[in-house]
Amino acid sequence: MKKLMLTSALAGLALTASAIAQTTITGEIRVNHKAVGSEVSSGTTTQSGRGFGTEQQINFATKGKLNVGGLDYAAGFSIENDAQQTFNQFNENTFIDITNASTGTTLSFSVDHIQRNDSDRSAANIFGFAPSEFSSGGHTSLMSATPGPGVGQSQTVAVIQDIGKFGKLSYNYAPTTTDKSATVLSTGTGNSENFTETNEKSAYEIGFVGSLGVQGLTVDYFTSKQNKLATEAVKAEGQNIGVRYNTGALTIGAARKIWNDNASATKTETTEKNYGIAYAVNNQVTIGLLHATAENNNVGPTSSSGFTPGVATQKLTAVQMGYNLGPVALTVGVARNTDLNGVNGQDSDMIMTRLIGAF
């Protein structure tokens, strides 16, 4: 009898949740084409290529009221497939948010969900392709979508505070920055309660996104750090600051990223600067110009003996056009990379096209 009563109670709970919840299903599909011509200092064309790529994503979300304190909740997850992805299709936009509407405070248990530093949301990238995408063909690039430890792509607990017309402030904490689920891909064994732990240290990220009360202005600032082990030379850190301003048909933006990686034997600090401008010709057509530089400065650890610092610089210039086709958006970009990965004479030309459909 007790078992029957418990089962009935759980069924009632499920029915109650369904009755008050609002569930939505949305999705997106992308079809990309990239053509790259790459050169080394001798003039020999290497690592050139062209081809199509696809990405599909389905988003499930629900929201409603908790039965305590008048709190709001939202939960959801996404199923994403990048090209022919064989695992981790559930590592985007997985979340349970609990919100106090009266104070504007949200507690979020999530992956790849809240405002964060590790997506290439450069203020200069007003639409279309980011510098890291334009420089990702052929050789290794100094430009990155993930400045620092990349807390946002890890399983985290975060607090987001709405500060009215000024914006949103967030604090995001990750016990580790890698997936510790004990799952064996070949057999499918393991579950969410089992985990494998290493000596990897925790990380955090503080962020702000808002208008500061100025119409047309968007400011974003993120700083992240990961504690280091005694065996690591440096601490992983990252900073991303950007400003964007829109006035009528014209939008301008600038961004700066600074980061270093604790996996390096010596401290290798990279500074990336982006500048962008876009003009909406009409409701369908937007054109834009993007310029970016990245400088890698091997400053070395203080304990290094006989280490010679060095500086390497990479530059990128791109022109983009976006066309609104209603349910489908088209973006075309042409870019020129100079001294890829800081290697003198290692250049590339790139053409990228993307069709995006939403449902």
Q: Would 8 be classed as within a structural domain?
A: no
Question: CA 274 to CA 131: how far, in whole Å?
Answer: 8
For 178-192, the pLDDT digits (tens) are 654 444 444 444 455
Question: CA 38 to CA 349: how far, in whole Å?
Answer: 6
- Contacts with 44 (C-beta within 8 Å, 6 or more apart), sequence order: none
Q: Would 259 be classed as within a structural domain?
A: yes
Q: Would 138 be classed as within a structural domain?
A: yes
- Which helix (H) or strand (E) is 276 found in, with range? strand 268-280
Q: Would 15 be classed as within a structural domain?
A: no
% helix, strand, coil for the chain, step of 5: 10, 50, 40
Task: Pull the structure tokens for residue 62.
Answer: 């629900």
Mean pLDDT of 283-302: 82
- Residue 108's pLDDT is what? 97
For 217-233, the pLDDT digits (tens) are 999 999 999 887 666 66
Please report, for the domain that includes residue 64, its CATH number: 2.40.160.10
Q: Would 47 be classed as within a structural domain?
A: yes
Q: Would 156 be classed as within a structural domain?
A: yes
Question: CA 355 to CA 15: how far, in whole Å?
Answer: 40
Number of structural domains the chain divides into: 1
Q: Would 18 be classed as within a structural domain?
A: no
**Neighbouring C-beta atoms of residue 316, cutoff 10 Å:** 26
Provide the pLDDT confidence category of residue 122 given band limits of 50, 70 and 90: confident
DSSP lists the bridge partners of residue 286 as 280, 322
Q: Would 189 be classed as within a structural domain?
A: no
Contact assessment for residue 251 and residue 320, using Cβ atoms and an 8 Å cutoff? no
Residue found under tokens 């990309």: 32
Q: Which amino acid is at 133?
A: E
Task: Pull the structure tokens for residue 64.
Answer: 């409603």
Q: Quote the pTM value.
A: 0.83
Task: Pull the structure tokens for residue 9.
Answer: 């109670």
pLDDT at 162 over 50: yes
Provide the residue range defining the domain that includes 165.
25-180+199-358
Question: CA 69 to CA 109: how far, in whole Å?
Answer: 19
**Neighbouring C-beta atoms of residue 236, cutoff 10 Å:** 23
